[in-house]
Each structure stands twice: as structure tokens, then as C-alpha cells.
């Protein structure tokens, strides 16, 4: 395949690799999403991938960023004014449920995707992720005016943590799935849609209650140092 040289051609080749990665993920899951598989699907040799991305992890991070941007686009379009906590929780839950690939990649963000990548590249991607996080925070404060912006930002970060934990728990391997189908273990087999909705509802209910009780409308203090 001819090497891409112009900025337009390079952008086109990067998009081609991202589409190939999405196809491999859909067909073979994260375990089958190797650079060899991506290159084969894209119709290029593996070594050519390094002209456009430094690692498999960077490709998956870029795909996560694309998915998150699309989800935030939809959220910004839907939220035009105040909503109830239940409506807001349902809207956020629906957004995650409709984006299984985003949920999968979020669940792999800390343990896998943020490794094997240069600091400068990671800094660039983190900045882009913060932009989308701030867009989501702004939509959340529009929906729930009782939340100060800083608290809404904390809520969005906590939502990522909820998805990161609940997605793998709700998508077990075949053996565990068979076990969870037994009546004795049925309470442990709640669907991701139910789990994430309940978790978001509890989170937003608690945050709005605290915010309304705070006469100065301050954000919650961070628990870390």
C-alpha cells in the first residue's frame, strides 16, 4: 500500500486504522484486538501502523475519545434545561448502555490503555478527555442547577469509575455466566443497564441533596491528597 504523505492522506490513513480497530473489537473483542489483527483488517503491514500511532494502546485511547465525544454531543443536544434527578439519571444511563464499546474501553482505561504510551501523547489525550468531561459537566449542571460546576465535574469522574467497575462485572466469562444463571446466584447477575442506572441515581440523589443543604453551594471536598 502507498505510504500516506500529505496531512490529508495521513488523517485518512489514521481514520482507516481506527475503523479497522473498531471492526476487530466488534468481531473478536479486546482479547483479539492485536496490532496484527488491526493491520490485517486495515490492509496494511503491521510496521506501517507505527507511522500513525505509537502503540495499540494509543489506537484504543483515540477510539475511546471518539466515542466519548459522540456521547457528549448527544448529551449536549438533549439537555436544554432543568430535569429531575430521575430523568437525568435515566438519560446518563441510556447514554452508556447505548455505547458498549465506550464502556468496555473505559473499563480498560487505568489497567491497560494508559500504559505503553509516551507522556506527551498521554498528556494530549488526557487534555482532550478533560474537554469532553467538562462538556458533560456543563450539561449536568444545566439538567441539575442545584449542582455547582465543580461538583458536577466530580460526578462525571465518579461516573467513569462506576462504569469501569460495573461493565466487567456485568459481562462475565462463559463459565461465570452459566453459574449466575442458577437461581441461587441470580441476585449477582443484574444487567449492566440496571446496575448503572441504579448507581447513577444514587450518586446524583446524594450529590443534589448535599448541594441543597450547603448554603454556600460549594463542591464536595476531594477525598484524596
**pLDDT for the residue numbered 217:** 55
Whether the per-residue pLDDT at 3 is higher than 70: the answer is no
Whether the per-residue pLDDT at 4 is higher than 90: the answer is no
Domains of the chain: 1-53 (1.10.10.60), 55-213 (1.10.357.10)
Whether the per-residue pLDDT at 103 is higher than 80: the answer is yes
**pLDDT for the residue numbered 189:** 78
Threshold 0.95, pTM exceeds? no
224 pLDDT band, cuts 50/70/90, is: very low
Gap between the Cα atoms of 92 and 74, Å rounded: 10
The answer to whether 162 touches 203, Cβ cutoff 8 Å, is yes
- Residues 9-44 have pLDDT tens digits of 899 999 999 999 999 999 999 999 999 999 999 999
- Residues 76-91 have pLDDT tens digits of 999 999 999 999 999 9
Gap between the Cα atoms of 189 and 171, Å rounded: 9
**In Å, what is the CA distance from 123 to each residue of 20, 58, 102, 218?**
25, 12, 20, 29
Grid cell locating 131:
474537554
- Chain center to CA of 124: 17
Gap between the Cα atoms of 74 and 180, Å rounded: 34
- Residues 120-168 have pLDDT tens digits of 999 999 999 999 999 999 999 999 999 999 999 999 999 999 999 999 9
The answer to whether 152 touches 79, Cβ cutoff 8 Å, is no
**pLDDT for the residue numbered 213:** 83
**pLDDT for the residue numbered 188:** 81
Q: pLDDT above 70 covers what percent of the chain?
A: 93
Whether the per-residue pLDDT at 223 is higher than 50: the answer is no
Amino acid at each position: 500500500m502507498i505510504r500516506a504523505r500529505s496531512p490529508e492522506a495521513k488523517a485518512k490513513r489514521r481514520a482507516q486504522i481506527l475503523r479497522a480497530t473498531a471492526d476487530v473489537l466488534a468481531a473478536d473483542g479486546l482479547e483479539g484486538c492485536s496490532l496484527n489483527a488491526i493491520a490485517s483488517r486495515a490492509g496494511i503491514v503491521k510496521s506501517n501502523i507505527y507511522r500513525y500511532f505509537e502503540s495499540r494502546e494509543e489506537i484504543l485511547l483515540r477510539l475511546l475519545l471518539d466515542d466519548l465525544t459522540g456521547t457528549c454531543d448527544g448529551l449536549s443536544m438533549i439537555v436544554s434545561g432543568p430535569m429531575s434527578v430521575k430523568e437525568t439519571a435515566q438519560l446518563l444511563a441510556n447514554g452508556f448502555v447505548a455505547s458498549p464499546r465506550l464502556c468496555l474501553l473505559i473499563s480498560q482505561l487505568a489497567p491497560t490503555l494508559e500504559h505503553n504510551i509516551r507522556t506527551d501523547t498521554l498528556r494530549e489525550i488526557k487534555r482532550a478527555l478533560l474537554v469532553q468531561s467538562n462538556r458533560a459537566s456543563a450539561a449536568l449542571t444545566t439538567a441539575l442547577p442545584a449542582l455547582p460546576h465543580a461538583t458536577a465535574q466530580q460526578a462525571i469522574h465518579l461516573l467513569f469509575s462506576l462504569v469501569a467497575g460495573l461493565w466487567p462485572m456485568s459481562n462475565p466469562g462463559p463459565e461465570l455466566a452459566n453459574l449466575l444463571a442458577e437461581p441461587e446466584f441470580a441476585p449477582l447477575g443484574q444487567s449492566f443497564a440496571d446496575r448503572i442506572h441504579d448507581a447513577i441515581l444514587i450518586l446524583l440523589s446524594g450529590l443534589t441533596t448535599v448541594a441543597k443543604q450547603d448554603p454556600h453551594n460549594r463542591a464536595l471536598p476531594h477525598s484524596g491528597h
